[in-house]
Structure 1
Amino acid sequence: MRLVILGGVAAGTKAASRARRLDPEMEITVYQEEPEPSISECGLPYYLSGVVGERENLIARTPEQFADKDIEVLVRHRVESIDAAGKKLSVRDLRTDKVFDDTYDRLIIATGARAVLPPIPGAELEGVFKLRFLTDSDEIRRYIEERSPGKATIVGGGYIGLEVAENLCRLGMEVSLIEGEDRVALAYGPEVSENVEAELEANGVGVYTGEHVDEFTGEGRV
């Protein structure tokens, strides 16, 4: 039995580990497009400020550690097509750009989600970032270290946006948070949202609810 899993963060690696416990003889391969598998995504905002000091602290298990359990994890590999009838895959090694075929008996798709960049003019400018993967955190942190920005604007008042606001405040930035809905922290009730907004403002964050970004502007960068 050969099991192939597409996606190597939380769900994919847990599925691989569970499959290994159920069947010690199963052949298991995990394909992961990003450079690291099994990252602690909840810690990404805290890596920006240095609360999480070392990058390695965000990596729960490395490919080598999975290999010790006889689970093959191939990072920087993207599955580009699936032949469900023939149980075949076309895989691109992003390091060499070579494409090869693979086969499977069982397939699990655990690719998760991607950060959605709204179609806002200027989103391609330098200084506009998304935060979804560890490599995104690397890019933002490098920009902060090189540019020393004094101000930051966060678009979105959900979990990640709130945590990014918290951590950029720790760095001494002047932070604004823009949320299209009428309150932040929509996953909770209005009372919690009110308390969260009050805490943000008490820490110097400018909170703008019911507002939308029309355009990012700047000469090459915001």
Structure 2
Amino acid sequence: MKKKMLVIGAVAAGTSAASKARRVDPELEIKVFAEGENISYGACGLPYFISGMIQTKEKLLVRSIEDFARQGIEVRNRCQAVEIDPAERRVLLRDLVHNQTFEERYDKLVVATGARPLELDCRNKDLPGIFTLRTVADGVAIREFLDREKPAHGLIVGAGYIGLEMAESLSQLGLPLTLAERQPQVAPNMDTDMAAKIQEHLEQHGVRVLVDTDIIGFEGRERVQRAFTRNSSFPVDFVLISIGVRPNTQLASDAGVKLGVANAIKVNSRMETNLEGVYAAGDCATAHHRVTGKNVYIPMGTTANKQGRVAGENAAGGSEIFRGVLGTGIARVFDLEISRTGLTEQECMPAGLDFYSHSVECRTAAIPQLAGPIWL
């Protein structure tokens, strides 16, 4: 009887797992289920879609359902995984279009359920005009709102990678902008000297930066009109919440899959969970840090693709390991490119590591006209 692999999730890790499994075993039956409408897209391009640099959402899409069908991989979107039964090796799913439930059995299962944006714990957080950015649908909703409503006062809550890149994108659209971060610095996962350079660069480009600032609520009638901190308020009519993500692991946890740091799914180097035949990869899973040797949760698209390939190969009968992460991240803030890898000073100290720190500013390419400064 032909073996069957199911994949829950169809963005980076899930589609990478399915494609790799097909290359390893041309006879394996592979089915992929996605809760959303869009599959296999580049989420890192969303800020540039919103700014108009990427003109259509179709340019964010890497592969279509038809592309996978030509590989002999069945992909079904708008299907929600409701329950995993590891004893019977079955998954209960719901067709969200027709509101019908059905079951699929599996020999191997890859959980690639990703993550969802953290919510801001404050009053009136659901007012129209307040957004998060995670999916293509989110990007389309933001772009349509900006085109339709022509907001005059923008606010980004959270100055991580998404917040920084969106500061550039919204500024390019001519939206006056405030960037609020509850930590003492922007780019909290960077060293303090780098963060100071980034903040200076933001302010030089007209972004009002507030650090050590909690947004405690919003006010508005038909849509958001005002934001409140602990000691002040100011007008806003567009808000983006970008304070991090939380792994989507309830489905796996309910089935008995063990969770690790940040409630992400605990996996070994083969991307195996504690349940036989069940793998996990991407933004729902932990990773091994190659410097500290500890399990960490660092959700990144590059990691998701690598973990997905490892999970897919092993689920299809191969033998591969994921060697871990270094916490590498790269972003652009206007014409300043920033990157990090390994550990920051703040991360070295609690780990008990001896370290030496030195900063270098250089160009990203040999031809000055084609490159901006990069802070390392």
Would you call these one fold, judging by a TM-score over 0.5?
yes
Q: Which residue of 2 aligns with 1:128?
A: 130
Query: Which runs of structure 1 show a deviation greater than 2 angstroms over 4 or more consecutive aligned residues?
Result: none
Structure 1 segment 4-23 matched on structure 2, within 5 A: 4-23=6-25
Q: CA deviation at 1:220?
A: 2.8
- TM-score, structure 2 length as denominator? 0.58
Match of 1:129, SS state, is: strand
- What are the Cα deviations for residues 15-62 of structure 1, in whole angstroms up to 9, with x where unaligned? 111100100000011111111111100000111110111111100101
Equivalenced residue count is: 222
* SS of alignment partner, residue 34 of structure 1: coil
Residue identity in the other structure for 2:24: L
Q: Deviations over 1:45-103 (max 9, x none)?
A: 11111011111110010111011111111111110111111111111111111111111
Residues 1:211 and 2:209 aligned together: no
Aligned to 2:121: 119
Task: For residue 14 of structure 1, give the secondary structure of its aligned residue in structure 2.
Answer: helix
* Aligned position for 1:167: 169
Q: Distance in 2 between matches of 1:201 and 1:82?
A: 49
Aligned amino acid, residue 163 of structure 2: G
Within a 5 Å distance, the mapping from 1:23-102 to structure 2 comes to: 23-102=25-104
The sequence identity of aligned pairs, in percent, is: 40
State the AA in 2 paired with 1:60.
Answer: V
Stretches of structure 1 that go unaligned for 5 or more consecutive residues are: none
Q: Does residue 108 of structure 2 align to residue 109 of structure 1?
A: no
SS at match of 1:114: strand
Q: Say whether residues 1:192 and 2:188 are aligned partners.
A: no
Q: Which residue of 1 aligns with 2:250?
A: none
The alignment partner of 1:216 has SS state of: strand
Letter in 2 for 1:188: M
CA RMSD, 1 decimal: 0.8
Query: Amino acid of the residue matched to residue 161 of structure 1?
Result: G
TM-score (norm 1): 0.98
* Aligned mates of 2:171, 2:73 — CA distance in 1: 41
- Determine if contact 2:121/2:216 at 8 Å carries over to the other structure: no
How far is 1:119 from its partner? 2.1
Unaligned residue ranges in structure 2 (runs of 5+):
225-376
Deviation at 1:133, TM superposition (A): 0.4
Structure with bigger gyration radius? 2
Structure 1 position 204, deviation (Å): 0.6
**What amino acid does structure 1 have at the position aligned with 2:43?**
E
Aligned pair partner of 1:202 in 176, 180, 204: 204
Distance 1:106 1:43 in 2: 32
